[in-house]
Amino acid sequence: MEREPAINLRHVTKSYRRDQIQIPVLSDLSLTVRQGEFLALMGPSGSGKTTLLNLIAGLDRPSGGAILVQESDLALMSDSQITKWRSDHVGFIFQTYNLIPVLRAQENVELPLLLTKLSRKERRERARTALRIVGLEGREDHFPRQLSGGQEQRVAIARAIVTDPYLLVADEPTGDLDRASAEEILLLLEQLNQEFEKTIVMVTHDPQAAKRATRLLHLDKGKLVADVAQERGAASPVAQEQAS
């Protein structure tokens, strides 16, 4: 049975203005991301991967077209509405983790919960649960500088899932990690997708990482050039080509 669409992009275009020059980044891109999908976005630098991720996550607005989420068009939402939508429905995972260095692991995870009506105790409990899910039980009181890169990214993932969003966006989540740590993070993302049914959109240059996704999109010069459903763990033709 085909799942419900989580995000629907219709004829989306995006261009940036540099001085007097209009630079097109995405042109007439239509895409449906279904609930529970694990989508990998690949493509050469400048192909528009991160721009597409930012549009899906509501961090940026399209120059044309519509981005529909739960019957609402992100492009038509006010800044305040789109910010609220992000806090309720999107979890972010960045390449450089972007933890707040002055906050402990638990406090970093708790940060998005400050925007909710939860009590202090409830926030603490939820943050601990999220840290337990990512395998960092016992590291609650560590500052980011006291953690390894892989552990920092786990904290970032815990922060991303603590509000129980349906969409996780990850921009090169393993880009700063060694192979072993990267493998752990990818396993964790897989687990979140399979066990917790999170919809994940991940930008990556790494074909090994892309193998973990259930669907692979390949962008080139702002256009979708390949959209391949794949068995988890199987190397897609595009990924194979990139790897070679």
Residues near another protein, by CB under 8 A: 54, 57, 59-60, 79-80, 83-84, 86-88, 92, 94-96, 98, 100-103, 107, 111-112, 114-115, 159, 171-172
Cβ proximity to another protein, 32 vs 96, nearer residue: 96
Closer to another protein by CB, 66 or 103: give it: 103
Structure tokens that stand for 196 in this block: 């917790």
Question: Measured from the CB of residue 100, what is the shortest distance to another protein in angstroms?
Answer: 6
Instruction: Give the list of residues 6+ apart from residue 204 with CB closer than 8 angstroms, or none.
Output: 40, 41, 42, 172, 173, 174, 175, 210
* Locus of tokens 């899910």: 133
- Which of 193, 201, 146, 199 shows the shortest CA–CA distance to 172? 201
Shortest distance in whole angstroms from residue 156 CB to another protein:
9
The residue (of 119 and 244) whose beta carbon lies closer to another protein is: 119
Q: Which is closer to another protein, CB of 13 or CB of 226? A: 13
**Smallest distance from the beta carbon of 54 to another protein, in angstroms?**
5
| Residue 162: half-sphere exposure toward Cβ, Cα within 13 Å | 33
Q: How far is the CB of 98 from another protein (least distance, A)?
A: 5
The answer to whether 168 and 199 have CB atoms below 8 angstroms apart is yes
How many angstroms separate the CA atoms of 7 and 31, rounded? Answer: 8
Q: Which residue is associated with the tokens 């940060």?
A: 111
Give 57 or 67: the residue with its C-beta nearer to another protein: 57
Could you tell me the smallest distance in angstroms from the CB atom of residue 2 to another protein? Answer: 30
* Cβ count near 231 (within 10 Å): 9
Sheet containing 64-69: order of strands:
21-34, 5-18, 64-69, 72-73
What is the closest distance, in whole angstroms, from the C-beta atom of residue 223 to another protein in the complex? Answer: 21
By DSSP bridging, strand 64-69 and strand 72-73 are antiparallel
Residue (135 or 175) nearer to another protein, CB: 175
